Amino acid sequence: MDITRSIYYFGLLVAFFFIIFSLDDLFWDIYYYLRGQKKIKNRLQMKDLDSVPRRLLAILIPAWNEAEVIGPMIDNLIRSVNYPLSLFHVFIGVYPNNSPTYEEVQILEKKYSNVHGVVNSKPGPTSKGQNLNCMLGSVLNFEKEKRLRFASFTIHDAEDVIHPTSFKLTNYLISQHEVVQLPVFPLQPYPTWRTFFKFITSSTYADEFAENHYRGLLAREASGALVPSAGTGFVISHSVLDKIGTHNIFEESSVTEDYKLSYRFAQLGISTHFFLEGIQRVSDDGKLITDYLATREIFPNTLREAVKQKSRWIYGISFQSFSFWEVLKNRTFNLITKYSLYRDWKAKYGNLLTIPGYAIFTYFIFSLFYNLPPVYPQGSLSWWLSVGLTFFMLERQFMRGVALKRIYGWRSAVAGCLIPPLLPLRAIWGNIINFLATLSAWRIALFGFPKHRPRWQKTKHAYLSPEILFRYQRKLGDLMLEKQIIDPFALAEALKEAKEKGEKIGEFLVKKGVISQEELTPLLGEVLKTGYIQLNDHSVRIDGISPDSIEILKKYQAVPVVVTEKSMVLAASTPLSSQAIEEIKEQLGKKNLSVVLANPSFISQTLAHLNEQHPAFPRLGEKLLSWGLINEEQLIEALRAQQHYPKPLGQILIEMGVIIQEDLDRALKED
């Protein structure tokens, strides 16, 4: 009798706490459907990203023991990102006692002019927060030395696959929001029976991030709650640093410095904007898919590494970042913010319920076949609680399945939620990992870190092969869909037909009359990273150009639009080969020659009347270019932005961050 009563009350207690901890999950799900879902639909027209000047961005990547991944990561970033290369700088924080990583970064510095290594003042590993503070100080010194200003500072990890459109998106959003968090979606292999068991640990990350970043954070932002930083894809505007100061903004003693910073921002009334947007793409096999503008990365696939990483997250958030009583007494937080913080705080308790819950469930299953005291007698309070708990469990799996389907597809939804039904293996394994990680977090809270300091407890990282990374690069068709030039189904059909005929998709669509050459040329300029500008009667500069030089310009259908003593920018109707560029350079006697695409019909008309052009005095852009204050790519971008952004060129260059007001004033004063 005593054993039966003990079993009953134990089951009642577990069921009661499960119900309590499940209620707030249900609350956020309901809030998502009432308000959060509206934030997904029609929040942004992707073509609007081109309506603002592309400003100078700083990318911060802390690195300890990342020699194997940092090179491929930066190579992929430079190759794939759809943003002018001279308008972003990558800063990699390394340590003096980590020679392999430091040597890889030195190779990258020689390879790319916009990649810079920042050597920490202390031997590693320190905390990630200390590394970021050291880097941020170096970036601000870089600003002063180079006389420029970054619009924002984006934090990424060394193993990230950064979305090609994310910099354009960051540039657009940061003019409207002080802090932005982009989604993080783990990479996982195509679900099969073999990969299901082989990658079951890393797949649990996909389950949890899909659920949280597809629905949870949207609900939190829509409600006005605290939106935490994910530690990567996290963007801080320069205006925030101007407001709060620049000295050690990251908590160096915290193992989750990202969450702690979000908490500090909330205390100061600085909200974090979470942005989720999917754009349509046509895959290589002709299927229409939704590609989310998110950071992708590979997560640990061993139990030990997963527990190590998650214990750091749980300890840093639930134990270290704040006291719950401190939150309750805080008058600057509204009720929904306090509720969201409670949700994060309770993980150190809620995660411990899973194993007792599974033990009770196992006992219940055995009681169906053996004569055992019932843990949930029919009609009792514990029985009704278990009925409610079953509903909550099914609701959670359904919501997780929806998120997985939207982010990864049907196969992932089935693998994550329906193998087997009711209690999926991946969900059970994920809960076991969280249980063990929570125990580890409690051990840290009670007995402290080894050596009494929160060192950087990082996990081992890997990177994708070039063949897989190629799938993430933007193609001509992707840009057509982003700018709403063509219907996705029409593009899929055109790609299939063009492939059968062995024709390039752009030329094929022009021939078919689907798009015009005038629509195609700007897209080519973006794909090939040459840029595109809209010419007018005052754009062309032929003063000082000989008749022989005019002939070679006509040969290659190009006109000069920027001319300095040593350099020239040509506007061409089609991309020029390296051989053509060398021939033009030799004829014109210029050391530097850049090519930007422009309207073919306008170039043809201009070339027909070149001899009618009159000499002109050097313009502002050419003056700044000759002084070395800007480069050709930055000037081309400013001229492009002027088409959508009717401001003086000098003001646009200041907003881009490539010059400061003092240098502009000096240029305007000189004759």
Looking up residue 415, the CATH number of its domain turns out to be 3.90.550.10
The answer on 378 and 233 residing in a single domain is yes
The answer on 294 and 392 residing in a single domain is yes
CB burial of 357-391 (b: ≥16 within 10 Å; e: otherwise) equals beebbebeeeeeeeeeebbbeeeeebbebbeebee
Predicted pLDDT of residue 142: 97
Predicted pLDDT of residue 3: 74
The answer on 108 and 250 residing in a single domain is yes
Predicted pLDDT of residue 87: 97
pLDDT-based confidence at 616, cuts 50/70/90?
low
**Of the listed ranges 7-21, 199-213, 310-324, the one predicted with least confidence:** 7-21
**Of the listed ranges 310-324, 389-403, 511-525, 614-628, the one predicted with least confidence:** 614-628
Structural contact between residues 108 and 77, judged by C-beta atoms closer than 8 angstroms? no
The answer on 572 and 437 residing in a single domain is no
Nearest partner of 664 among 617, 638, 629, 616, judged by Cα? 629
pLDDT per residue as tens digits for the range 219-252: 898 888 999 999 999 999 999 999 998 778 999 9
pLDDT of 15 over the 70 cut: yes
Does any domain span residue 366?
Answer: yes
User: How many angstroms separate the CA atoms of 243 and 69, rounded?
Assistant: 35
Predicted pLDDT of residue 10: 78
Residue 315 is classified by DSSP as I
Environment class of 466 (CB within 10 Å of its CB; exposed 0-12, middle 13-18, buried 19+): exposed
Instruction: Specify the residue for token string 């869909």.
Output: 481
Which of 474, 505, 522 lies at the terminal end of a domain, its last residue?
474
Environment class of 484 (CB within 10 Å of its CB; exposed 0-12, middle 13-18, buried 19+): exposed
Does any domain span residue 411?
Answer: yes
Predicted pLDDT of residue 250: 95
Does any domain span residue 368?
Answer: yes
User: How many angstroms separate the CA atoms of 634 and 186, rounded?
Assistant: 34
The answer on 552 and 466 residing in a single domain is no
Predicted pLDDT of residue 618: 64
Which residue intervals of 35-113 are DSSP H helices?
A: 70-80, 99-111
| Mean pLDDT, range 202-227, rounded to an integer | 93
pLDDT per residue as tens digits for the range 419-435: 987 779 999 999 999 99
pLDDT-based confidence at 455, cuts 50/70/90?
low
Long-range pairs for 318-326: beta carbons < 8 A, 24 or more residues apart: 318/344, 318/345, 318/346, 318/347, 318/348, 318/441, 319/348, 319/441, 319/444, 319/445, 320/254, 320/255, 320/256, 320/260, 321/254, 321/256, 321/259, 321/260, 321/263, 322/263
Tokens of 475: 């193609």
| Mean pLDDT, range 186-202, rounded to an integer | 92
Per the structure, the count of domains in the chain is: 2
- Predicted TM-score of the model (pTM): 0.92
Nearest partner of 91 among 111, 107, 109, 71, judged by Cα? 109
Pairing mode, strands 295-297 and 184-186: parallel
Domain extent for 135: 1-18+53-474
Which of 448, 474, 500 lies at the terminal end of a domain, its last residue?
474
| Mean pLDDT, range 444-470, rounded to an integer | 69
More confident: 600 or 141: 141
Predicted pLDDT of residue 358: 81
Predicted pLDDT of residue 413: 94
Highest average pLDDT, of 106-120, 537-551, 621-635, comes from 106-120
Which of 455, 474, 493 lies at the terminal end of a domain, its last residue?
474
| Mean pLDDT, range 172-183, rounded to an integer | 95
pLDDT-based confidence at 79, cuts 50/70/90?
very high
Does any domain span residue 23?
Answer: no
Q: At what angle do helices 661-669 and 649-656 cross, to 10 degrees?
A: 160
Does any domain span residue 369?
Answer: yes
| Mean pLDDT, range 100-112, rounded to an integer | 97
Does any domain span residue 485?
Answer: no
What values do phi and psi take at 297, rounded to 5?
A: -160, 160
What mean pLDDT, rounded, does the chain reach? 88
The answer on 570 and 450 residing in a single domain is no
The answer on 234 and 375 residing in a single domain is yes
**Of the listed ranges 432-441, 586-595, 610-619, the one predicted with least confidence:** 610-619
Predicted pLDDT of residue 242: 93
What H or E segment, with its residue span, contains residue 29? helix 2-34
The answer on 570 and 422 residing in a single domain is no
pLDDT of 187 over the 80 cut: yes
User: How many angstroms separate the CA atoms of 245 and 229, rounded?
Assistant: 19
Predicted pLDDT of residue 612: 54
pLDDT-based confidence at 129, cuts 50/70/90?
very high
Do you find a cis peptide bond into 648, omega within 30 degrees of 0? no
